[in-house]
């Protein structure tokens, strides 16, 4: 009997460790893609790997790992976030002079005159066996460039400002979370009601409505929250150069706001357009395409998308 209990405990421990490793991988993938709308795809792939719905604790762990790793990246990249006090962050200039005291549990760089800060939370180590400190019981708000808290910390998750709007979330987990938007004054110009939401770019953002009917649909909204497009595909990445990256169910392609395929889905990976060019991958082939879908660099099997970015073509 003892051996049976020991074997069962070992099995559970092994399964928990495997789940943690999957969470670490998902967090790293989301950080590398660096697009909020990639979240649904990555979580979907994780669900497929598990063969079931994602447990709430895994979703929370992924989120916490992303926050912790982003904080470490901000520090190492010298984005002006200081660690003058253990577990607290403030802001310094290029000479190292403190501009805003390190009194926030977490903080991100200024965007549009506002910086995202964590107004409450506790860094904890060893959560679910992770060696990376994670932030629990957190709430987020924004400070101005004088260091004054101008938007109180009442949200469970926020993004930095873009196009005069910041995405905010109320509630945790995939079921209870509600996404909306605030302006730089903290007014909820688009009340939290969506299942997911992206940052605004070029005046548009992508949201997903709640309910089974909208499970595989994406809605495009303007800065007032008006729906300007309902698209029967999942969109990944920001609206850029008049196009969205979208998933057909089999491959990635590019859609316009009306939901029409401008570049038919045929890629295994695709990034948003920038200055008329986009990075894509198909199998072992990589390259850059223009807005007609024609290759302007490659395709090549040498390196990957990072190789394309860093190539002498630029």
What pairing do the DSSP bridges indicate for beta strands 157-158 and 166-170? antiparallel
Q: How far is the C-alpha of 178 from the C-alpha of 168, rounded, in Å?
A: 8
pTM above 0.85, yes or no: no
SS3 content of the chain, % helix, strand, coil (to 5): 25, 40, 30
Identify the burial level of 34 via C-beta atoms within 10 angstroms of its C-beta, where 0-12 means exposed, 13-18 middle and 19 or more buried. Answer: exposed
Sign of the CA dihedral running 68, 73, 76, 80: negative
> Read out DSSP for 184-228?
TT---SEEEEESEE---BTTEEEEE-SSGGGTT-EEEEETT--EE
Note whether 246 and 258 are within 8 A (CB).
no
Of 195, 238, 222, 192, nearest in space to 34 by CA: 238
> Read out DSSP for 221-254?
EETT--EEEEESSEEEEEEETTEEEEE-SS-EEE
In which element (H, E) is residue 79 found? none
Q: What is the pLDDT along the chain (314 residues), one digit of tens a residue?
A: 555 545 554 455 555 555 555 555 555 555 444 444 455 555 555 555 555 555 555 555 566 555 555 544 443 333 445 444 556 788 887 777 788 888 888 888 889 999 999 888 776 765 555 566 666 778 999 999 999 999 999 998 899 999 999 999 998 766 678 999 999 999 999 999 998 898 999 999 999 888 777 777 889 999 999 999 888 888 887 888 889 998 888 899 999 998 899 999 999 889 889 888 888 988 888 888 999 999 888 787 765 554 444 443 33
């Amino acid at each position: 009997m003892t051996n049976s209990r020991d074997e069962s405990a070992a099995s559970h421990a092994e399964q928990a460790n495997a789940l943690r490793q999957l969470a670490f991988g998902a967090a790293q993938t989301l950080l590398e893609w660096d697009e909020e709308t990639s979240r649904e795809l990555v979580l979907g792939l994780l669900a497929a790997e598990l063969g079931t719905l994602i447990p709430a604790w895994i979703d929370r762990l992924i989120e916490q790992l992303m926050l912790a790793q982003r904080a470490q990246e901000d520090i190492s990249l010298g984005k002006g976030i200081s660690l003058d006090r253990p577990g607290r962050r403030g802001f310094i200039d290029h000479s190292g002079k403190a501009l805003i005291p390190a009194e926030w549990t977490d903080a991100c760089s200024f965007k549009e005159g506002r910086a995202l800060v964590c107004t409450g939370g506790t860094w904890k180590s060893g959560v679910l066996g992770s060696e990376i400190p994670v932030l629990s019981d957190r709430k987020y708000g924004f400070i101005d460039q004088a260091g004054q808290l101008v938007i109180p910390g009442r949200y469970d998750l926020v993004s930095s400002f873009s196009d005069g709007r910041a995405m905010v979330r109320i509630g945790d987990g995939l079921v209870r979370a509600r996404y909306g938007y605030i302006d730089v004054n903290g007014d909820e110009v688009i009340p939290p009601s969506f299942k997911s939401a992206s940052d605004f770019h070029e005046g548009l953002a992508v949201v997903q409505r709640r309910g089974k009917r909208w499970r595989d649909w994406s809605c495009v909204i303007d800065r007032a929250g008006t729906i300007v497009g309902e698209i029967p595909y999942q969109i990944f990445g920001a609206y850029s150069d008049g196009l969205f990256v979208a998933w057909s169910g089999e491959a990635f392609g590019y859609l316009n706001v009306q939901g029409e395929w401008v570049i038919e889905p045929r890629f295994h990976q695709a990034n948003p357009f920038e200055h008329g060019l986009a990075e894509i991958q198909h199998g072992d082939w990589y390259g850059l395409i223009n807005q007609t879908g024609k290759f302007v660099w490659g395709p090549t099997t040498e390196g990957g998308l990072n190789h394309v970015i860093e190539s002498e073509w630029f």
